[in-house]
Amino acid sequence: MDLGITGKTALVAASTGGLGLAVARSLAAEGARVAIVGRRRDRAKEIVAELQADYGAEAAAIEADLTTPEGVEAAVEQTVANLGPVDILVLNGPGPKPGAAASLGAGDIAAAFDLLVKPHHALVSRIVPGMRERRWGRILAVGSSGVVAPLPNLAVSNTGRAALAGYLKTLAAEVALDEVTVNMLLPGRIATDRVAELDQAAAKRRGTTPDAIQLESRKTIPARRYGEPAEFGAAAAFLCSAPASYITGVALRCDGGLIRSL
């Protein structure tokens, strides 16, 4: 299938590792121009070199702290200067610390919005007007299966990601007539450093080993394994594609059947 994104410009937030990198690779493989955005300049440059070597992709390394207004502005300006106006915006960022709902303080609630809502809103506000004017755009947020079924001991993440989902669902209806789609892709247990950290934290909390936690987790997944980042990236690339033009306002799970509801 031709995804129809050759030559489109994609800004992928937090793409120097994890799921952001997996999405960036898949978009580059399909011919998109990709801005690798993150705080690690050297790592971003390495990834750009890899994308150029593997796919002949046009790519740019952009160092920016997207949790600040200045970082958002710099990321957008540098992407446009190097690759052109943004056609595809992938919202992504680091996950907050684990914690129980009963132990949350006011600062934790504020952190949920500061980390998981405000930066994404700032990027969308900066980029969506151009998409609407050009009458083509894809906004995709990397979420969590906690949006559908809140995850134990991830109260901050559950709170912030649910708020983001509400905002994006509302936005999707507002921009649909302008040929802009807005979706979320919800990972389950994907084999990334973030999931490894959560497994380690669970092992420490329960007095066991990460291997034991992973074995227990796999038993709860119908596919009986953790997903591969490339599998997640492929799903993301489709949602950012031209053939996906009639899919909007959707939260799609990529979780091996982990969440048992439809």
Question: CATH no. for residue 112?
Answer: 3.40.50.720
Residues in the chain: 262
Assigned domain for 197 exists: no
pTM across the whole model: 0.95
Between CA 198 and CA 205, with CA 202 as vertex, the angle to 5 degrees is 140
Assigned domain for 237 exists: yes
Between CA 128 and CA 133, with CA 131 as vertex, the angle to 5 degrees is 110
Q: For residue 60, what are the domain limits?
A: 9-190+227-254
Q: What is the DSSP string of 98-145?
A: PB-GGG--HHHHHHHHHHHTHHHHHHHHHHHHHHHHHT-EEEEEE--G
Q: Which helix (H) or strand (E) holds 90?
A: strand 88-91
pLDDT in tens, 149-201: 998 889 999 999 999 999 999 999 999 999 999 999 999 999 998 889 889 98
Please check whether residue 256 is in contact with residue 188, taking contact to mean a CB–CB distance below 8 angstroms.
yes
Tell me which amino acid residue 31 is.
G
Assigned domain for 164 exists: yes
Assigned domain for 244 exists: yes
pLDDT in tens, 39-87: 999 999 999 999 999 999 999 999 999 999 999 999 999 999 999 999 9
Number of domains the chain contains:
1
pLDDT in tens, 11-35: 999 999 999 999 999 999 999 999 9
Assigned domain for 217 exists: no
**What is residue 94's predicted lDDT score, i.e. its pLDDT?**
83
Assigned domain for 136 exists: yes
- Residue 145 phi/psi, 5-degree rounding, is -65, -15
**What is residue 95's predicted lDDT score, i.e. its pLDDT?**
79
**What is residue 97's predicted lDDT score, i.e. its pLDDT?**
83
**What is residue 153's predicted lDDT score, i.e. its pLDDT?**
87
